[in-house]
Amino acid sequence: MRVNRVPDWMVRLDELVRARATEPYTWGQYDCCTLVADVVLAITDVDHLAELRGTYSTMAEAYRLLSRHGGLAVAITARLGEPLPVGLAQVGDIGISGTAAVFFGGDCWLGQADVGLTPVPAPALIWRCTGV
């Protein structure tokens, strides 16, 4: 399903990054999956994690949930479509680089850290935050 970016997506994305800058890693609230879902929500107003929010609060629960959805890559593909080469990445697009991460332009990929966000290596494939 392809959706459009909301008109003020850049402001909303900036606000999200600022809000998460001091938040500690918390399963179900501030983890890699909520990061990418929150970014997509800020950019498109579509919450792909809506039915799963509040359903896990530990690493074991998160992994069981991901397993039921076929793993992280399969779950992202089911919501955003087939992955694309990383060279096509646009700000807000999603990748997996050991963890789910978000593209912020240039060479900047950020993932959830113990506190706030941290740079991560560029992934091989990405998913368009607006779907394809």
On whether residue 36 sits in a domain, the answer given is: yes
Closest to 65 measured CA to CA, from 79, 55, 73: 55
132 within some domain: no
Q: Is residue 3 part of a domain?
A: no
CA atoms within 13 A on the CB side of 74: 7
pLDDT bucket at 132, cuts 50 / 70 / 90: confident
Residue 58, domain CATH: 3.90.1720
Instruction: Convert the pLDDT of each residue in 91-122 to its tens digit.
Output: 999 999 999 999 999 999 999 999 999 999 99
Question: How remote is the C-alpha of 83 from its chain's centroid?
Answer: 14
Instruction: Identify any residues that bridge with 109 across adjacent strands, giving them in sequence order.
Output: 103
pLDDT at 55 (0 to 100): 96
Q: Is residue 4 included in any domain, yes or no?
A: no
Q: Is residue 1 part of a domain?
A: no
Give the count of domains, the chain.
Answer: 1
**pLDDT mean across residues, the chain:** 96
Can you tell me the distance from the alpha carbon of 129 to that of 78, in angstroms, rounded to the nearest whole number? 12
Q: Give me the domain span that covers residue 77.
A: 9-127
In degrees and rounded to multiples of 5, residue 41 shows phi and psi of: -60, -45
